[in-house]
Amino acid sequence: MSIIRLLKDEDFDDYIDQTLDAYPVMIDSVTPESRRIWKENMIKQQSSGGTPHYYGCFREGKMVGGAMYHDYEMNVHGKIIKVGGIGNVFVNLFVKKEHVAKDLLQNFHKYCREQGAILSTLYPFRPDFYNQMGYGYGKKLNQYKIRPIDLPKGRKNGVTYLNKNDSSQILDCYNKYVKKNHGMILKNELGIERLLRGKLIGYKKNGEIEGLAKIKFEKVIDKNPLLQNMIVTYFIYNTKEAFKSILAFFNSQLDQVDRIIFETPEDDFHFLAKDPRDGDPVMYYDCQETNRQALGIMYRVLNTHKLFQELNDFNFNDVSLKLKLTVLDSFLPENNGSTIIQFINGKPNLSSDLGYDVEVRMKVEWFSSLIMGVISFKKLFTYNLLEISDEKYKETLNKLFYFKEKPVTLEEF
């Protein structure tokens, strides 16, 4: 039987050892000094009462796995709601395939619901594994490799390095962006501190930061120290001027940088480049590669009933319909079952009346992707991933669950 609890100070050495066993590529980069700092930081974070929280799974008094639990607030279709995040899930090498990860996830879901979280999110080491636990796929991340000379020129006045003295302005800029973009997670001071551990540039105007980007450099060829790429992992902007100025900064790096590698959720980024090809000699029929995509963030609905209560002011495209929504959730029985929702001119209201116009049945993982706007209702129907009691409502339901924005989640955890 598993006992899952918050770690005590004396548990953290074992937590670090097992984390390094689970993620062995980290071992070479962990020195005795960095290990000491890592442990001190975890204990400090936990004792402060803030996020994250470090949990261990114990069997017969021994730690056999662990994870970090995060308390987040996410923009979900314009409403800031509580969301749980889980990261650094590990299992002792000698108890693999003994349901330790399952126990950790079930405990995490229970924790989230107790904290009032409606959704949970994670980055999977295997998407299919977490899909079986009710996690739906999020929006894919794009990687574009663009030559600096192919980016728009312009004035880069106001673009500068940011440092810890800018922390409060960085926080304001970042969270302003969060409040305008579905799927983004609010940062706190600790999150900004992490953001500043690398090179961070920003655009300043009248004492305010209106956009920022996190950058780092990598060698293109080991034998050539002068040839390098610039990697951009965060790029947010609250004004068009900030966007244009930071792009002009990237354009000006052409004498030192071979390619700017943008890691971004934006699907249309290739429109910015004079030559959108990414430099790799890959061709599909008459099509040439502009970018690569990868599946990362995943989302899970933990409380369908409460989700629609939170979204009571959201307009589901002016549709009027009484829907019986049946979410199949075998991993979290509390969320398994039917909810009747009366949509009046697009606004949802929960109904105790058992009558309805149409029933939709689907697994929680597909509903999670649908409600976050990752995939359309029509596609899920075509892929046979949901059922409708009366197909004459198919187009109405597709309109009901049509979202203008796909989720953008940049948080690292």
pLDDT in tens, 78-135: 999 999 999 999 999 999 999 999 999 999 999 999 999 999 999 999 999 999 999 9
Cα angle, residue 84 at apex, residues 212 and 58 outer, rounded to 5°: 125
Which helix H or strand E contains 88, and what residues bound it? strand 79-91
Pair 350, 269 in one domain: no
Q: Which domain holds residue 181?
A: 142-294
Pair 150, 283 in one domain: yes
Pair 290, 147 in one domain: yes
Residue 26: what pLDDT? 67
Instruction: Please state the rounded mean pLDDT for residues 237-259.
Output: 96
Pair 111, 148 in one domain: no
Separation of alpha carbons 302 and 76, rounded Å: 14
Which helix H or strand E contains 109, and what residues bound it? helix 100-114
Determine, yes or no, domain membership for 94.
yes
Pair 165, 275 in one domain: yes
Pair 326, 371 in one domain: yes
Determine, yes or no, domain membership for 311.
yes
| Paired strand residues for 199 | 215
pLDDT tens readout for residues 263-288: 999 999 999 999 999 988 777 778 89
Q: Is residue 281 reached through a cis peptide bond, with omega within 30 degrees of 0 on the bond before it?
A: no
Residue 201: what pLDDT? 98
Query: What sign for the dihedral angle of Cα 170, 175, 177, 178?
Result: positive
CATH number at residue 169: 3.40.630.30
Give the least confident one: 265-279, 281-295, 308-322, 347-361: 281-295
| Residue 61 confidence (pLDDT) above 90 | yes
CATH number at residue 309: 3.30.1050.10
Pair 236, 354 in one domain: no
Determine, yes or no, domain membership for 405.
no
Residue 27: what pLDDT? 66
Residue 196: what pLDDT? 95
Q: Give how far Cα 346 sits from Cα of 320, 327, 342, 358, 370, Å.
A: 6, 21, 9, 16, 17
Pair 313, 285 in one domain: no
Last residue of one domain, picked from the residues 236, 261, 294:
294
Find how far residue 93's CA is from the centre of its chain.
28
| Residue 28 confidence (pLDDT) above 90 | no
Pair 224, 280 in one domain: yes
Say which DSSP state 276 is in: -
Mean pLDDT of all residues belonging to the chain: 95
Residue 167 pLDDT level (bands cut at 50, 70, 90): very high
Q: Is 256 helix (H, G, I), strand (E, B) or coil?
A: coil
Q: Give how far Cα 158 sits from Cα of 37, 161, 205, 348, Å.
A: 35, 10, 6, 45
Pair 167, 90 in one domain: no
Residue 271: what pLDDT? 97
Pair 58, 192 in one domain: no
Separation of alpha carbons 211 and 232, rounded Å: 13
Domain count, the chain: 3
Closest to 231 (Cα-Cα) out of 195, 198, 267, 279: 198
Pair 188, 323 in one domain: no
pLDDT tens readout for residues 380-409: 999 999 999 999 999 999 999 999 999 999
Residue 217 pLDDT level (bands cut at 50, 70, 90): very high
Determine, yes or no, domain membership for 196.
yes
pLDDT tens readout for residues 182-209: 999 999 998 999 999 999 999 999 999 9
Residue 30: what pLDDT? 86
Please indicate whether residue 189 or residue 76 has the higher confidence score (pLDDT). Answer: 76
For the chain, what is the total number of helices (H) and then of strands (E)?
11, 21
| Residue 171 confidence (pLDDT) above 70 | yes
Strands 228-237 and 257-264 turn out to be: parallel
Q: What is the pTM of this model?
A: 0.94
For residues 366 and 385, the answer to whether their CB atoms sit within 8 Å is: yes
Q: Is 335 helix (H, G, I), strand (E, B) or coil?
A: helix
